[in-house]
Amino acid sequence: MGNILLAIEQKLDGVTGDQTSSIDRMANTPNEVLGVATRYAESVGKASEAWGKIGDPGPNGNPPTTGETAARTIRAAQQTAAVALGVASLGTDMLDVGFANLTAPLAAICPSMPAATLMGMYIGTPHCHPTHPPSGPPPIPPTPLPSIGMVTLGMSVKVLINNLPAARAGDIGLAPSCCGIPPAWFKIKTGSSNVFIGGARAARTTDICQACKNIPDPPVASAFANAMQVAGIAVGAMGMAADVAEAAVEDQAAMAAAKAMSAAMAAAQMAADAAKMAVEATMWKDPTMPPTGSMGAITLPSSSGTVLIGGFPMISVMDLAKAIMNRLKRFKAKSNDDDGAGTGAC
């Protein structure tokens, strides 16, 4: 009993210390948000500088070779494209940083959970697909089936947790147990409020997932999200090409190997993102009962669970924007219906 009380006291002391540091972090929110804008401004300056250095002499003082000029041009183009993409994501990045800092005291009192990775297990609520067996059509009664699967696509190939790619909010997994056609997939909807991996919220055990949703997103929000994904893949491809070109003209073997490794990692991430986007185009086409589909969570980490991530569950800013637009669309439709009520001819 004494050991239990001692453990509780130590935990409370730790929470008190975390609260103190989190309050300091909350107070520093304006500086952190300003830092995001400052880093973006620095990236703009680096892109401009890269274009200006294309014709500069090499390390040995000689004029740049054709290969060096090509590598510098590709790198400058990649940095410029990244800056252009950064304009669209600057607002969400500032919101993410500001929200993480403002809610730091709340995140400090939430328990840390095991990080989710490739092959992490998902379990969702039972639902049925009544247009085909085994859940229909009539006279077969609508038969709910469980939604069970594992994290499969997306993830960050550059961040490994126990040798497995880290999962994030927005990544997807295969969950065929509900017998949807084509095979059903689920999407991780929430992640850590204050820990990000590769620009997305880090997913943990107990984070919420959704499968077989049959309510489409608003077209504008869906088109913007798809455009951002395509642009991100394109910038990644340019970065990979720049790394390959720089590795080819690098004199030092160690630097050439590092550039080649960076290019390989970029290629792997681009392939993972492209595969995820291709699958997302086929997701959630099979009608379900209920139309909201299945809600579940990541229940078991695929690794030993030794890596813990703090914060409370939070959806991505993009998903929040989609939800707001969907709500506004429904409100507008309801208002139009109300305006038309009672106008029939006598």
Residue segments in the chain with a per-residue pLDDT below the cut of 50 = 1-16, 343-346
Distances (CA, A) of 181 to 9, 127, 131: 53, 14, 10
What pLDDT does residue 216 have?
Answer: 60
What pLDDT does residue 55 have?
Answer: 81
Cα–Cα distance measured from residue 187 to residue 211, given in angstroms and rounded to the nearest whole number: 6
The string over 313-330, giving b where at least 16 C-beta atoms fall within 10 Å of a residue's C-beta and e elsewhere, is bbbbbbbebbeebeeeee
What pLDDT does residue 235 have?
Answer: 65
What pLDDT does residue 192 have?
Answer: 95
What pLDDT does residue 138 have?
Answer: 86
What pLDDT does residue 173 have?
Answer: 95
Tokens read off for 73 = 């041009």
What pLDDT does residue 15 have?
Answer: 46
What pLDDT does residue 5 have?
Answer: 39
Domain 113-221+279-328 has CATH 3.90.1150.10: no
